[in-house]
Amino acid sequence: MSTRWLSRILWRTSTALLLVQLVRFAAAAAEGERPDRYVYRQEHDPNGSGKFYMGREIALVMGHQGADWLERAEREEEEKPELLIEVLKLKVGDRVADIGAGTGYLARRLATRVGQPGTIYAVEIQPEMLVILTNKMAQLGITNVKPVLGTITDPKLPPASVDLVLMVDVYHEFSHPYEMMRAICQALKPDGRVAFVEYRGEDPEVPIKLVHKMTEAQVRKEAAVHPLIWEETIKTLPRQHIILFRKKHSE
């Protein structure tokens, strides 16, 4: 191959890459995203999005087609949902936002714990999931779960309205983690809490794909840019850790 043809190929390649970046920056601007907040890489984990935040690759989202996996019988043993809810120390009357509620697997358990005076906001960005969730709640006669259609940057919760925001195996899939967490913090009551429940990234024995796990250090690093104070990390679940934060008081 001649030097002239090689130069043309390199020029076309670099131009194509530049166009890809320009398209990404334009899309970011349209979504209100700061273009220097995220990094895009062509070489990345096949289960990841190619979009990186604070050194972590954002995982691909599980679509509503995977709803059956959320209701699998093995989940009781693998995740111990009742133990999770127990350590959250909810009270009757609490308002809880279940972000990425899916089929309502946890929402219906939370609903029992907070009772009729309480409310569970079941937040999803997939309308199909909310249809499944709503049907299940109707079948079970549960009336204190409120379905909420959020967006990739906003859970669409009322300001200062919730006592606890719960995110179970979902935060690592947020395409806009900074923007989403900023909106979540605005929805917290002054003393509200946030619980990140993620498969332990420190443990190679946890049989989950790498981009679908998070270390405690990474969670705390990403939470530190928001008005949140770390309270404790609970490691009693078989495969996940529960990393709890409380909203900082205004100065």
Check whether residue 52 and residue 114 sit in a common domain.
Answer: no
Residues of the chain with pLDDT under 70: 1-35, 250-251
36/145 same-domain check: no
Domain count, the chain: 2
Question: Both tokens of residue 33?
Answer: 């995203």
Q: What whole-number distance in Å separates Cα of residue 11 and Cα of residue 16?
A: 9
Q: How many CB atoms lie within 10 A of CB 18?
A: 10
Whether 22 and 70 share a structural domain: no
Among candidate residues 15, 31, 59, the one where a domain is terminated: 59
pLDDT at 249: 81
Model pLDDT, residue 100: 96
Q: Find the domain containing 35 and state its range.
A: 3-59
Hey, how many other C-beta atoms are within 10 angstroms of the C-beta on 4? 7
Q: Indicate whether 55 and 71 sit together in one domain.
A: no
Cα–Cα distances in angstroms (integers) from residue 120 to residues 51, 145, 148, 210, in the given order = 31, 5, 10, 30
* 23 and 118 both lie in a single domain: no
- What pLDDT is stored for residue 13 in this prediction? 40
Select from 26, 32, 74 the least CA-distant residue to 40.
26
Q: Specify whether 228 is located in the same domain as 127.
A: yes
| Separation between Cα atoms, residue 230 and residue 190, nearest integer Å | 15
Shared domain check, 214 and 139: yes
- Integer Cα distance of 113 and 79 in angstroms: 18
**pTM: predicted TM-score of the whole model, two decimal places:** 0.85
Residues 6+ apart with CB under 8 A from 214: 56, 171, 172, 196, 198, 199, 201
The CATH code of the domain that includes 148 is 3.40.50.150
Among 43, 59, 75, identify where a domain stops: 59
The pLDDT tens digits of the residues spanning 154-197 come to 999 999 999 999 999 999 999 999 999 999 999 999 999 999 99
Q: Are residues 218 and 115 in the same domain?
A: yes
Burial category of 36 from C-beta neighbours within 10 Å (exposed 0-12, middle 13-18, buried 19 and up): exposed
Is 193 found in the same domain as 116? Answer: yes
Handedness of CA 66, 127, 90, 220 (dihedral sign): positive
Gyration radius of the chain's alpha carbons: 20
